[in-house]
Amino acid sequence: MSESELTLSIETHKRVSVLTAAGRIDSTNANQLDNALKQLLEDGNANIVVELSGIEYMSSAGLRAIVAALREAKKKRGDVRIATPSERVSEVFSLAGLSALFVTYDDLTAAVGSF
């Protein structure tokens, strides 16, 4: 009976920031992801890659955080792009009808280089 395990790390490059998430994203901890993305945006980082290879499970709570970040990034003429989602996470994006909304890369270097 505790928060699900989620670790977040941020790496900032010249033109893009990479937020790497690992573990599970659900209602207990989606606010951590939401806050991390909001902080990046508030700090002026509008080009963001969300690296999801270590995410084994994500509910709609995680999607809401990522879509909220996309909304803010677009306002700042930036973008949020997805790197290396697992099959399960890709299925969640697809189920939500969000696959077309996010540019997704199978390779982190390609995602970073896309900005």
Partner 1 sequence: MGEKHILTVRGRYTNIRDICDFIVDGAQTSGLDEGALFHVELACDEACTNIIEHAYEGEDLGDIEVSWRVAKDQFIITFRDHGRSFDPTNVPPPAMSDLSVEAEPETLKVGGLGIHFMRTLMDDIQYTFDRQGNTLTMIKQMGDA
Nearer to partner 1 among residue 9 and residue 94 (C-beta): 94
Nearer to partner 1 among residue 2 and residue 109 (C-beta): 2
Q: Which residues form the interface with partner 1 (CB under 8 A)?
A: 1-4, 26-28, 57, 59-61, 63-64, 67, 70-72, 74-75, 88, 91-92, 95-98, 100-101
| Cα-based torsion angle of the residue sequence 18, 36, 55, 65 in order, rounded to the nearest 10 degrees | -110
Nearer to partner 1 among residue 13 and residue 88 (C-beta): 88
> 79 burial class (0-12, 13-18, 19+ CB within 10 angstroms)?
middle
**In whole angstroms, how close is the CB of 2 to partner 1 at the nearest point?**
6
Report how far residue 63's alpha carbon sits from residue 67's, in angstroms, rounded to the nearest whole number: 6
**In whole angstroms, how close is the CB of 96 to partner 1 at the nearest point?**
6
Tell me what percent of the chain is helix, strand and coil, each rounded to the nearest 5: 40, 30, 30
**In whole angstroms, how close is the CB of 52 to partner 1 at the nearest point?**
16
Nearer to partner 1 among residue 43 and residue 91 (C-beta): 91
Q: How far is CA 20 from the centre of its chain?
A: 8
